[in-house]
A and B are shown apart, each in its own frame.
Chain A
């Protein structure tokens, strides 16, 4: 009986150690940087390699959108709270693309600090309201600078 009980204890201990270890590893993982993704501030700080493809996400800075030349090319700035990155793109833009809107750009960072995008996706936020409410809100507060992570998950 004691043998059976000792064996069962051993097995339960192994299970607990395994589960505990897995939990600890997951907790450590959450402390790490889990985003395969860069923000303008990281690019401004020079943490991002040049000439490799990655994604950059942020809000289209107000008043930055220009369409020089034939109208198919567009230049704008993506910004988060602290920094902005100039972006160049040639192609059609999604309907939701507009100033102040969250976007994700796929492309490469050039040596001169300009981001050349080959794909732009508009990210719609998860707040929904009627146009009237939106109007009222806009009148009240300007689009305040939120912490970077809140901007996308809002």
Chain B
């Protein structure tokens, strides 16, 4: 029984003291592997979207905003889903890194959601004739923004970082019920918002010339999300462990 507790406490100590500095060091290298594809892909998407791709047969040049709108809308949902997944990991396995991930990903996800809403409004005016309608897809995307803001607000109002991380984990899990509702809102209520541009079953309704920049944009935005979140995590990690020796050592050594 004593050896069992000793093993457990040793393992816990290893987790606490071992993995965080390791992650901090290794993540600096991962960040580069995310940053390079992010910059390359997004640059390609922007250039292709603005210049290379022909105008749409119906919407003309207006549709070019799609190359920003669609990837950010995808990422807004994807980021929340990963946060909920990390929430499960944080609560079940008590993994500190998962808590930190949620805290770091929330502002990034909120930014993507905001970007999707703004570009959607800009796109909506010329095509639908209105900046905003209380359409199911738009409304639920707005609610997603509020979910992100809720996680951020909860994190800011709890003083103890450990508790704040776990509280945010639970809230992300509870909020994930909205993600399928957002995803299916276009199918359930036949609304103004068009259906998915790409779907796994139905294939794409897009010309391949137009499609490739979009896919590149999605990849680029995903890498951007990973990159920004990783940096956010590193900052959170330094702040949380600011009293520990390994942080001191790294700051002293530069």
Direct interface between A and B, CB < 8 A: yes
Complex CA distance for A25 and B58, rounded to whole angstroms: 41
* Contact, CB under 8 Å: A123 / B192: yes
List the A side residues contacting B19 at CB < 8 Å: none
Complex CA distance for A107 and B53, rounded to whole angstroms: 39
* Contact, CB under 8 Å: A153 / B127: no
* Given A128-B56, A130-B209, A153-B195, A35 and B129 contact (CB-CB distance below 8 Å): no
For this complex, 7 residue pairs linking A to B, each with C-beta atoms less than 8 Å apart, are A37-B190, A94-B128, A120-B129, A122-B128, A130-B207, A131-B54, A153-B195
* Contact, CB under 8 Å: B59 / A96: yes
Q: Is B130 an interface residue (CB 8 A)?
A: yes
- The closest CB in chain B to the CB of A130 belongs to B54
Contact mask A34-49 → B, CB, 8 Å, 1/0?
1111000000000000
Q: Is A154 an interface residue (CB 8 A)?
A: yes
Contact partner of B57 among A34, A36, A129, A153, CB < 8 A? A129
* Contact, CB under 8 Å: B55 / A94: no
List the A side residues contacting B187 at CB < 8 Å: 153
List the B side residues contacting A36 at CB < 8 Å: 189
Q: Is B196 an interface residue (CB 8 A)?
A: yes
- The closest CB in chain A to the CB of B133 belongs to A121
Contact mask B217-234 → A, CB, 8 Å, 1/0?
000000000000000000
CB of A79 to closest CB in B, whole Å: 16
- A124, A132, A154 — which one has the most chain B CB atoms within 10 A of its CB? A124
List the B side residues contacting A95 at CB < 8 Å: 126-127, 129
- The closest CB in chain A to the CB of B188 belongs to A34
Complex CA distance for A92 and B58, rounded to whole angstroms: 19
List the B side residues contacting A94 at CB < 8 Å: 127-130
Contact partner of A133 among B189, B192, B207, CB < 8 A? B207
- The closest CB in chain A to the CB of B202 belongs to A153
Complex CA distance for A135 and B54, rounded to whole angstroms: 14
Complex CA distance for A92 and B57, rounded to whole angstroms: 23
- B128, B130, B209 — which one has the most chain A CB atoms within 10 A of its CB? B128
Interface residues on A, range: 20 to 34
- The closest CB in chain B to the CB of A96 belongs to B127
Q: Is B245 an interface residue (CB 8 A)?
A: no
List the A side residues contacting B133 at CB < 8 Å: 121
Q: Which residues of B contact A (CB under 8 A)?
A: 54-59, 63, 66, 126-130, 133, 186-192, 194-197, 205-207, 209-210
* Given A133-B57, A133-B207, A128 and B66 contact (CB-CB distance below 8 Å): yes
Complex CA distance for A153 and B210, rounded to whole angstroms: 19
Complex CA distance for A92 and B87, rounded to whole angstroms: 49
Complex CA distance for A95 and B123, rounded to whole angstroms: 12
Complex CA distance for A15 and B225, rounded to whole angstroms: 35
* Contact, CB under 8 Å: A130 / B57: yes
* Contact, CB under 8 Å: A128 / B195: no
* Given A34-B188, A37-B190, A154-B195, A124 and B127 contact (CB-CB distance below 8 Å): yes
Contact mask A4-34 → B, CB, 8 Å, 1/0?
0000000000000000000000000000001
- The closest CB in chain A to the CB of B59 belongs to A124
Q: Is A134 an interface residue (CB 8 A)?
A: yes
Complex CA distance for A126 and B206, rounded to whole angstroms: 8
* Given A94-B127, A121-B133, A122-B127, A130 and B190 contact (CB-CB distance below 8 Å): no
CB of A99 to closest CB in B, whole Å: 12
- A36, A57, A121 — which one has the most chain B CB atoms within 10 A of its CB? A121
